[in-house]
Each structure stands twice: as C-alpha cells, then as structure tokens.
Amino acid sequence: MVTDFAARGWAKLPYDAAVRDWAASAWQAGQIAKDAPEHALWWDCENTWFIGVDALPNDAAGAIGTGPALTGAPVETLQALYGEVLPLHPGQLSITYPGYPRPRMGESEAGFRYRIKRDAAHLDGLQKGEDGGRYIAEPHAWILGLPLTENVDTEAPLVIWEGSHEIMRTALLDALAAHPQDMWHAVDLQAPYQAARKQVFETCTRVKLIAQPGEAILMHRLSVHGVSAWESESEDLPSCECRAIAYFRPILPGGAVAWLANT
C-alpha cells in the first residue's frame, strides 16, 4: 500500500467513512456543476467526457457549502508522506460516459489513435506551448483521485504505468542538466518526454486503478497515467450512467526544481 508508494508511484488508500461522506457531498455538487452553463466548454469527446477542471466549488479544506471538509485517510497519508497538506484548489470533476473515447474537438487522427491505443497517457504538469513544444507549466505536488461513483474496470477506469515516475524524472533531469535551474520552465521537453514515454510503455506495467466512494487513489506527480475505454454496454450499468472522479493537484512551491526532486 503506502509503503510501496515510492517504488510504484501510486497507492490505493483504504475505505474511510469520512471520505465517503465527503464524496457524497461532492457528487451532489458535481451533478449541478456538470450541467452549469458556465462549464459547457468542459464537455468533449462528443459529450462522452466532462473534463471539469476547477469545476467543484470547494474551499481550501475541500468543503463544499455546508458539507464536510476532506479529512481521514487521504489527509493522514499526505501528511505522512509530505509533512503537510497544501491548500486545495477547486477540484477537477472528471466524468466519463458510455462510448468514451470519441475524438476530442480538433483532435487529429493520430491523436485519436493514441487515445484509444494508449489511453491518452500523459504526464500532468507539462503543457504544449504555442510553438508546439512541451514545457513545465504546472508543477503539481501530488495527484489525489477521489471516486464519486462506483468504479469498475470496464467503465473508463483510471490507468497508470507503475514505476513510470522514475523514468520520467531521470529523462527530464538529463534533458535539463545543461540549463540553469531558473530557466527550466522555458526548456522545450517534447523530444525527451516522448522518448521517455516510449520507454515507459515498453518497460512499465499498466495498471487499472479501481476504487469506490470512500476510498482514494494517490499518484506520484511524475507518473504517466490516462483513462481507459468504456467497454461496458449501457444496459449493464450497475447503478449510475457515468463514472465520476474528483481530482486535486495543488501547485508545488519551488517550481520546476522542486517538481523533479526525489520526493
């Protein structure tokens, strides 16, 4: 479990009734948020994916309105691993529906093939620039996923490449070694990132991370991860028409240097 986090790059946290209460409150708010007109731009993949960045109206402790703050196993684990829990941003509300994946708006044929074949696997924190390169833009401290609905392995589960964080760290540090640390954010990492990702696919085990409301998934900030396809037939859905997970990824003080540190 958490004792293997440094090697695997992920941990499934045990069921906690306080987290279950938080998830129930968050899902109530999430169902309102996904249909809000101001969030219409987050619908993509022909309405089979609500991306929902910053869509949850939680405060820095995770509380939504009069609902509970986020406590219990996630907070205790983060404190044990990192010494503190950074203030939480408005949570991402990632919701998938039967039929996912379908092409994203403006997605090329090659991009869609990658989405299907490799689960749109990516490293959070890197973003494409206007020149087509990839740059360190959002150095997250950690990635915490909190299921809001029942999750099964055939309904667009979260997937991760176990141990990929160390491959990514080594590759990016090698690419940045010749540059001053205060300029790391301006270095195009597209080529080393793609090469490292290829190595990840060839050498790391792909794992479906299945958790239920009340549980949580903690991922290392440098882990390669994605979303698998929805394989179930709609008439076979157990209790909900969708799969919903709330994500928190607070920005790490210290920027790119801290992001690539061995922590």
Q: Calculate the CA dihedral of residues 24, 147, 100, 155 and round it to 10 degrees.
A: -100
Chain segment 208-247, per-residue pLDDT in tens: 999 999 999 999 999 999 999 999 765 444 445 899 999 9
pLDDT of residue 262: 84
Q: Does the pTM exceed 0.85?
A: yes
Cα 123 to Cα 191: distance, rounded to the nearest angstrom: 14
pLDDT of residue 234: 53
One-letter amino acid identity for 33?
A
pLDDT of residue 240: 56
Chain segment 117-166, per-residue pLDDT in tens: 999 999 999 999 999 999 999 999 999 999 999 999 999 999 999 999 99
Is residue 112 a contact partner of residue 193, using CB atoms and an 8 Å limit? Answer: no
pLDDT of residue 237: 46
Write the CB contacts of 2 (distance below 8 Å, at least 6 apart in sequence). 11, 13, 77, 80, 81, 218
Beta strands in 110-224 (DSSP E): 126-128, 134-136, 143-147, 158-161, 206-209, 216-219
pLDDT of residue 1: 52
Count CB neighbours of 130 within 10 A.
5
Chain segment 72-130, per-residue pLDDT in tens: 999 999 999 999 899 999 999 999 999 999 999 999 999 999 999 999 999 999 999 99
Count CB neighbours of 166 within 10 A.
17
- Which of the four pLDDT bands, split at 50, 70 and 90, describes residue 250? very high
Beta pairing partners, 227: 158
pLDDT of residue 239: 46
- Which of the four pLDDT bands, split at 50, 70 and 90, describes residue 35? very high
